[in-house]
Amino acid sequence: MFVDIIINAFRKIKSNYVSFILATIGITISSFVILIIFSFYHASKEVLIEYLCNKFAGIDVITVKVEDEDYCMDISELLELEEYNNINQVFFQTSDAVSGQIQKNDVQLFGTYNTPFSIEMVYGENLKKSDYLDNECKKIIIHKKLAENIFLLSEEAVGRTISIRTYSGKSYEFLVSGVYENNVSDYQTQSSVYGSYKTISELLNQNDKISKYFVQAGDIRKISELKLHLSDIMRNRYQIDNYKYIIIVSDIIKSIDIIIGLVSSVFLIFSCLIFIVSGINIRNVLLSIMEHYTHLIGIQKAIGAYDRVILMEYMMQGVIVSCIGTFISIGSFFAVISVINENNNEICKFISDKTNMDFFADITLNLSIGGTDICVSLILSCVIVIMCCYSSIKSSISMNIVDSLRK
C-alpha cells in the first residue's frame, strides 16, 4: 500500500510537473538561503572569537587564587592539570621578583613555569619545559625594548650573557635565550625579565608552594566548563572550601556569550522569516495544483478511496518535492562555498577596501555546515511543505463527492 502511494505521488507530479517544478524551486531557494545563513552563523562566531582573542590578550585565561596559605598548591599538583583536555597550558610565577639593573636599566626578574600568555617571541627561542623546573638553568628572555637599550639592535641580544646587579649589591649572570614583545607598552612590562621558576625561586628563598596560578583554555567556547572543573578540583580533591579560593574569568567572556546570543537570535529571526515567506509562496502554488485535483479526488472518493489514503498520497508529493529541493540546495551550497573559500582572501580584501574597515582584511571566513544543519534544513523543508499540502488539500478532501465531481 505504501509503495502504491509513492508510485501514485510520482505519477501526479509527472502529470503536473510545471507546478511542481515551481514548488521545488521555491524549496531549493529557501533551503539554500537557510544553509548560507547557518554557515555564516558558524563562521561569524569563529571570527568573533578569534578577533577578540587577538584583540584582548588573556581573555581565554582563568585565574585561580588561594586565599589561605595553608592550602597553597604544590608544583606537582599543578602540572597534573595540564592533562585535562581543555587546558592549553598552566602558568605560574614567583610571588616576588629579583629587582636590579642591567647597565642602568631597571629590571624585574621573575621565575616562571611557561611564559605569560600575552607575549610573543620575536628573536631566539623560549625556554623549554624542562628549563622551567631546572634549578641550574640560567636562561632568560627579555623584552625587545630592553634589548634595544642594551645592545642597540634587539636581535643581537640572543646568545649573549648579561649581568643583573641587584640593589643589595649582588650580581647574577644569565644567558639571553630569546627576545619577546607584547601589545602592552607600559614601562613595567618592558622591564620584566623571565627565567626558570626553580632558579629564581631559590635566589628568592621561596618554597614550592603556589598560591596563584593561571590556566589557559584550549577552547574558549568551553571556558565555563573548565571553570567548573577547576572549582571541583579545588573543592573536592584538595578539600578547600569556597571562601578559601577565588576563580576569576575575564568579563569579556561574558560579553562574548551575550554577543553570540544576539547573533544567534538575529540569524534565527532571518531563518524564520525566510521560511514563512517561502511557505506562503509554496502554499499558493499548491493551492493552484489542488484546484486541478479536486475533480480527481471526487472520483477517488466515489470509487471507495479512504480520505486518509488520499491525504497520504498528496502529502507524499510534498515530501518528495521538499527532499528534491533540499538536495539540490545542498549541492548548490557546497559548489558556492567552495568558490567563496578558495577566494576568501580576495573577497575579504575587497570588502575591506569598499568599507574602509581593516577588520575584514585580518579575518578568514571559512564557510561550512555540519550534518546537523543539513538535517535541520531538510526537516524544516518537509514540515513546511507538509503543512502547506495539508492546508491546501484539506478543503478538497472535506468536500462532498458531488461537489468534487462538479469541480
Segment 304-314 shows an average pLDDT of 75
Give me 98's grid cell. Answer: 629579583
Is residue 389 pLDDT above 80, yes or no? no
Q: Are residues 261 and 382 in the same domain?
A: yes
User: Could you tell me if 271 and 41 are in contact, meaning their C-beta atoms sit under 8 angstroms apart?
Assistant: no
What gap in Å lies between CA 269 and CA 258, rounded to an integer? Answer: 17
Question: Cα dist. 119→36, 70, 172, 394 in Å?
Answer: 37, 32, 24, 68
Give me the pLDDT at residue 188, please. Answer: 56
Show Cβ contacts of residue 34 under 8 Å, excluding neighbours closer than 6 positions. Answer: 271, 274, 275, 377, 380
Of 336, 362, 368, residue with least CA distance to 349: 362
Q: Do residues 38 and 373 touch, judged by C-beta distance below 8 A?
A: yes
Provide the Cα torsion 180, 186, 188, 192; round to 10°: 0
pTM of the predicted model as reported, rounded to 2 decimal places: 0.60
| DSSP characters over 102-139 | ETTEEEEEEEEES--TT-EEEEE-PPPHHHHT-TT--E
Supply the pLDDT for residue 229.
Answer: 81
Report the amino acid identity of residue 13: I
- Mark whether 82 and 231 lie in a shared domain: yes
Q: Retrieve residue 15's grid coordinates.
A: 502529470
- Which contacts (CB < 8 Å, 24+ apart) does range 373-378 have? 373/35, 373/38, 373/39, 374/35, 374/330, 376/38, 377/31, 377/34, 377/35, 377/38, 377/326, 377/329, 377/330, 378/31, 378/322, 378/323, 378/326
388 & 264 share domain: yes
182 with 241, same domain? no
Choice among 54-63, 134-143, 214-223, 251-260 with the minimum mean pLDDT? 251-260
Residue 272 C-alpha cell reads as: 524564520
Residue 175, pLDDT score: 93
Mean pLDDT of the chain: 77
Could you give the CA distance from residue 195 to residue 114 in angstroms, rounded to a whole number? 9
As beta bridge partners, residue 121 has: 180
The total domain count for the chain is 3
pLDDT (mean) for 40-69: 74
Q: For residue 96, is pLDDT > 90?
A: no
Cell 544543519 found at:
373
294 and 381 co-located in one domain: yes
Q: What is the dihedral sign for C-alpha 380, 383, 386, 390? A: negative
Residue-wise pLDDT tens digits, 66-93: 777 666 777 877 888 877 878 888 888 8
Indicate the pLDDT class of residue 139, thresholds 50, 70 and 90.
very high
Q: Which tens digits make up the pLDDT trace of 262-303?
A: 777 777 787 778 777 777 777 777 666 666 667 777 777 777
Residues 219 and 90 in one domain: yes
Burial, 1: exposed, middle or buried (Cβ in 10 Å; 0-12, 13-18, 19+)?
exposed
Segment among 26-30, 312-316, 362-366 with least mean pLDDT:
362-366
Neighbouring CB atoms inside 10 A of 385's CB total: 29
Q: Give the model's pLDDT for residue 334.
A: 86
User: Could you report the per-residue pLDDT of 209-237, keeping only the tens digit for each?
Assistant: 787 888 888 777 777 788 888 887 777 76
Q: Which of 110, 187, 194 is nearest to 149 (CA)?
A: 187
Residue 348 and residue 231 share a domain: no
Predicted local distance difference test score (pLDDT) of residue 138 = 92
266 and 388 in a single domain? The answer is yes
Q: 148 and 133 share a domain?
A: yes
> Same domain for 174 and 124?
yes
Same domain, yes or no: 123 and 157: yes
pLDDT score of 221 = 73
* pLDDT of amino acid 368: 75
Residue range(s) defining the domain that contains residue 401: 2-54+255-406
% pLDDT > 90, the chain: 6
Lowest mean pLDDT among 2-6, 173-177, 275-279, 384-388: 2-6
Q: Tens digits of per-residue pLDDT, 147-176?
A: 988 887 888 889 999 899 888 888 889 999
- The answer to whether residues 107 and 149 touch, using CB atoms and an 8 Å cutoff, is no
Task: Evaluate if residue 8 carries a pLDDT over 60.
Answer: yes
Say if CB 132 and CB 82 are below 8 A apart.
Answer: no
In the chain, how many H helices and how many E strands? 13, 13
pLDDT category of residue 358 using cuts at 50, 70 and 90: low
Mean pLDDT of 337-364: 70
Task: Give the helix/strand (H/E) hosting 292.
Answer: helix 251-302
Of 219, 234, 249, at which residue does a domain stop? Answer: 249
pLDDT at 242 over 70: no
pLDDT score, position 180: 92
Residues 78 and 221 in one domain: yes
The CATH number covering residue 83 comes to: 3.30.70.330
Instruction: Report pLDDT for 179.
Output: 93
